[in-house]
Structure 1
Amino acid sequence: MERITLARALAMGREEARALDRDSPKGRLRSTPPGRDRLFIRAEGCRLWDDQGQVYLDFAGQGGTLSLGHNPAPVLEAVRLVAERPNLLQVGLDPVMSALMQNLAALAPEALARPLLTASGREAIRAAVGLARRATGRPRILVCEGASSDLSLDSWAAEPPPAETPTAAAPVAETAATATSAPPGTGLAAVPYGDLAALEEALAGREVAAFVVEPIQVEAGVLLPPPGYLQRARTLCRERGTLFIVDERRTGLGRTGTLFACQAEGIEPDILCLGPSLGGGVEPLGAVLTTEALWRQATARREGRWIETLLPEVGTRAAAAGLATLESLLDEGLPARAAELGAYLLARLESLQAEHHTVVKAVRGRGFLVGLEFEDVRSWATRLPFGGRGAFGPGGLATWVAGELLQRHRMLTHPVQPQVLLLAPPLTIGRNEIDQVVDALGQVLAGARPGWSLAVRSALTGLRHLRGGSPS
């Protein structure tokens, strides 16, 4: 296999890059949809530039993790300032990392005074589970059905129960509420999101180390919990001796209008997890915040190398990026901005829903984490002679709308479900950009009404995609 230098990779045009992507190990694992394989060569704020000189508006924000947009200047400058320092070092002092941990402790809910840095959001979840199992001596972990995509069953299966489990606890009885496809013996169960009765039943055996829950389920379709659900879930966990872990990898750091989404719900978790938005989109970074008492309880037993797996494995550059990200979020008042402009975005989308009620089923979200749920029109689309079964492709109407926004308006959005489109722009987005996207959505939805015009447009869109055509 030929080796490729960085200089050559940077100099590639679209066709060569497309062929490389298709033939590389990455391409064999994840194919890029035809017509959407743009080659972006520059990014700044909420905009991207491709190799053809076209400018795109990013309203996907990497699934909501680009809080400051692409290549934020303060974060890039912070990384530059520490460029000559050792990035990874097992000995010596690292005031940059210590400062980030102190700032996280100062900003988090009051009791969460013990932060732990990780190299990714997924590692943050794994570390949180390790802490919970260690502190409680219980092997089982409870999650919600439809949790974020990288909160996978395989990840949980790879995390063994603690060696010092006091007794061989019997598995929680599998019911319709707790059934999961997890391999036997992983200690994993799942309950429906928002179902307190199912949660109470799953916790009844007092064998669950932790319940992991998202304040808003993004990948499941931007689902908000019923009012009071999180507070009652917190109480149930406390009564059963189960730790309450809040997964804020997608909702944290201002995206929903408060610094942490759990603050708006009036709850204080035992463990809080943060994800890649902490690195400002420049450096990979995650974090776990817990209480001092829980940390001491989890680390009281020091046999083996378990403690080393929870030590910070991030570098000085990532810590500097985290410091700059927090500073920008606070100095620019971005959480409050997300609350104000997010309400404006929701109001405009609700007006759009009223106008296109035969296509748009629901609009929901908080701050700059918003989902549009479309009606499932694939049933009638199969009767259209031009559209046929492939009118919207395998992804449903959300994928079709996203493709139209990209092709015709040069706007990036993210289908998280076949019928749900996620809008999660950088928190620095302005009112004018919001208007542009909503107006473009209106134009796209005007062509998404059941009828012949949609069949023709769908067929033309499919042909343009197959040809890899540029936006009109």
Structure 2
Amino acid sequence: MSNYKKIKLDEAIGLNYSENLENHKKYMNSGLVDYLSLVDLYRRYVKAKGSSLWDEQGNEYLDFLGGYGSLNIGHNHPKVIEAMDKVKELPNLMQASFNPLAGALAHNLAQITPGELQRSFFCNSGAEAVEAAVKLAKASTCREKIIYCDASFHGKTLGSLSFSGREKYKEAFYPLLNWGCKIPFGSTEILEDSLKDRQVAAFMVEPIQGEGGIIIPPQGYLKKVREICDRYNTLLILDEIQTGMGRTGKMFAFEEEGVVPDILCLAKSLGGGIMPVGAMITTDLIWQKAYGSIDKCLIHTTTFGGNTWAMASCLAALEVIEEEGLAQQAQEKGVYILEKLEGFKNKYDLVKDVRGRGLLIGVELNSAEGTLNKISGGLVKNLSKDFTGALITGELLNRYNIIVAYTLNNPNVIRLEPPLNISYEQIDYMLDSLEKVLTKNKGFLSLASKSSKSLIRGSKHILKSITGK
């Protein structure tokens, strides 16, 4: 062991661009390194505060990705950092006792959630919250099936992946759980047909599909879904992992239609951008049916769920969201951005659609697949149909220091998901920069030509690592 050179914490903090890249290339996901290198998306960030990050050269970047919805209150909010300091001497893991911070957070969540939502289960991620919700639904109803929607995204564990909509993330792992049934998002008629046999434990749905491309269902959809689920005694699981905590202009997106789920899944910004936290919240009646007795109380548990540091970050994050009125800020800023972006649709051929609610906004682009294939002589055929969003993403980062990303299940949709307390000045800079990119690359010819050269330089190994073909 003495011959091995280990990297200590202080050394790890000080690793430069190349050293960090080499570690990831050699010891972690080399395909991801290749992928980010295709359009020069990798940076070595050394500082973060609010809506900004800084690289090792001192360049400032605006974060319009926001940790895929995990940074509603921004990077390193001082109130959350202060909370971490307050609990640093408390025991962090207390499995044989009851953590007062976990009890306090469960109490607070019961106060801010509507209806009869009362009991919380804390875990470490959104996927785990989904797993907990599905298990609770089956245990409490003694039914087998789970209905979910196409283009949905609920996580990448084998369980949550079984109820997610894109085949690309599923096909390598078949057979998955076989008691899930996929239906179109937004169709209440097909939902009702799916529930008529009264064998469905729960219908799991996102109020707005995030990774599906920021897809908003028809007006009144959730209200009708609630009625149908009640008619057939099917539980309604709402996945608010990305839409919750003020993101869409209300604390929870389902409040837009005045419905209440039977089971609610939260994560991402619940942890204040500091700690990984997931939560499942349900009614007393449903909980008691599944886990209420002494012999069943340990059926579903997790080691790190409800630990002190995680609970402190959540308690602080909730305070910040309410004290700073971040849901209202998201609503007002979202209207402002969408009004500006609407003008882009008729002005630029690249823009296919603009949609969203609050500060969960998608800009859908027309695909550059044909142009990229032609310029590259067909070399990037398997990749180009999923690459339009990445091209714009690279332009915004490399020319204007703006961080965005595309949605997982529709890579031609660029998401705008900044911290909710982002300034109007920063918003205007992003809008101006995006318009410059669109103006410079009308028709995608120049952008596709430039980007296809980068793709061509990539090896067949890189293409395989991204497409799986």
TM-score (norm 1): 0.87
Secondary structure of residue in 2 paired with 1:33: helix
2:207 corresponds to: 215
1:15 corresponds to: 18
Counterparts of 1:190 and 1:452, CA distance in 2: 38
Contact kept, 8 Å, 1:157 with 1:183, in 2: the verdict is no
Counterparts of 1:103 and 1:305, CA distance in 2: 22
1:469 corresponds to: none
1:158-209 deviation digits (Å, cap 9, x = unpaired): 9xxxxxxxxxxxxxxxxxxxxx996376311111111222212221211111
Deviation at residue 57 of structure 1 after TM alignment: 0.5
1:126 corresponds to: 131
Counterparts of 2:351 and 2:312, CA distance in 1: 43
Counterparts of 1:425 and 1:6, CA distance in 2: 30
Higher mean alpha-carbon deviation, 386-395 vs 363-372, is at 386-395
Which amino acid counterpart does residue 100 of structure 2 have in structure 1? P
Which amino acid counterpart does residue 406 of structure 2 have in structure 1? P
Counterparts of 1:130 and 1:441, CA distance in 2: 43
Higher mean alpha-carbon deviation, 371-380 vs 36-45, is at 371-380
1:359 corresponds to: 350
Contact kept, 8 Å, 1:392 with 1:458, in 2: the verdict is no
1:388-446 deviation digits (Å, cap 9, x = unpaired): 85899563221100010011111100111221100000001011111111111101111
- Confirm whether residue 405 of structure 1 aligns to residue 396 of structure 2: yes
1:168 corresponds to: none
Assess, with a 3 A threshold, how the Cα gap between structure 1 residues 7 and 133 changes in structure 2: closer, same or farther.
Answer: same
Secondary structure of residue in 2 paired with 1:113: strand
Counterparts of 1:302 and 1:16, CA distance in 2: 52
Contact kept, 8 Å, 1:139 with 1:209, in 2: the verdict is yes
Deviation at residue 248 of structure 1 after TM alignment: 0.2
1:177 corresponds to: none
Deviation at residue 123 of structure 1 after TM alignment: 1.2
Task: Give the alignment partner of residue 189 of structure 1, picking from 175, 181, 184.
Answer: 181
- Confirm whether residue 418 of structure 1 aligns to residue 411 of structure 2: yes
State how 1:331-350 maps to structure 2 within 5 Å.
331-350=323-342
Counterparts of 2:184 and 2:97, CA distance in 1: 47
Contact kept, 8 Å, 1:387 with 1:455, in 2: the verdict is no
Deviation at residue 231 of structure 1 after TM alignment: 1.1
Secondary structure of residue in 1 paired with 2:203: strand
Counterparts of 2:260 and 2:80, CA distance in 1: 29
Secondary structure of residue in 2 paired with 1:287: strand
1:470 corresponds to: none
TM-score (norm 2): 0.88
Contact kept, 8 Å, 1:124 with 1:288, in 2: the verdict is yes
- Confirm whether residue 235 of structure 1 aligns to residue 227 of structure 2: yes
Secondary structure of residue in 1 paired with 2:443: coil
Assess, with a 3 A threshold, how the Cα gap between structure 1 residues 229 and 151 changes in structure 2: closer, same or farther.
Answer: farther
Secondary structure of residue in 1 paired with 2:108: helix
1:136-161 deviation digits (Å, cap 9, x = unpaired): 00122111111126156543669xxx
- Confirm whether residue 428 of structure 1 aligns to residue 421 of structure 2: yes
Counterparts of 1:92 and 1:385, CA distance in 2: 62
Task: Give the alignment partner of residue 444 of structure 1, picking from 433, 437, 443.
Answer: 437
User: Unpaired runs of 5+ in structure 1?
Assistant: 159-179, 467-472
1:268-298 deviation digits (Å, cap 9, x = unpaired): 1101110121010101111111111111111
Contact kept, 8 Å, 1:115 with 1:290, in 2: the verdict is yes
2:269 corresponds to: 277
- Confirm whether residue 115 of structure 1 aligns to residue 115 of structure 2: no
Higher mean alpha-carbon deviation, 36-45 vs 373-382, is at 373-382
1:145 corresponds to: 150
Secondary structure of residue in 2 paired with 1:155: helix
Counterparts of 1:377 and 1:118, CA distance in 2: 41
1:335-373 deviation digits (Å, cap 9, x = unpaired): 0010001100111111122321x1101000000000001
1:170 corresponds to: none
Higher mean alpha-carbon deviation, 27-36 vs 271-280, is at 27-36
Contact kept, 8 Å, 2:373 with 2:384, in 1: the verdict is no
Assess, with a 3 A threshold, how the Cα gap between structure 1 residues 382 and 346 changes in structure 2: closer, same or farther.
Answer: same
Higher mean alpha-carbon deviation, 31-40 vs 455-464, is at 455-464
Counterparts of 1:92 and 1:221, CA distance in 2: 43
Secondary structure of residue in 1 paired with 2:117: coil
Give me the CA root mean square deviation.
2.7
- Confirm whether residue 135 of structure 1 aligns to residue 153 of structure 2: no
State how 1:240-389 maps to structure 2 within 5 Å.
240-300=232-292, 302-303=294-295, 306-309=298-301, 313-356=305-348, 358-384=349-375, 389=380
Assess, with a 3 A threshold, how the Cα gap between structure 1 residues 324 and 221 changes in structure 2: closer, same or farther.
Answer: same
Assess, with a 3 A threshold, how the Cα gap between structure 1 residues 455 and 326 changes in structure 2: closer, same or farther.
Answer: closer
2:45 corresponds to: 40
User: Between the two proteins, what is the percent identity of the paired residues?
Assistant: 38
Which amino acid counterpart does residue 402 of structure 1 have in structure 2? T
Counterparts of 2:154 and 2:136, CA distance in 1: 22
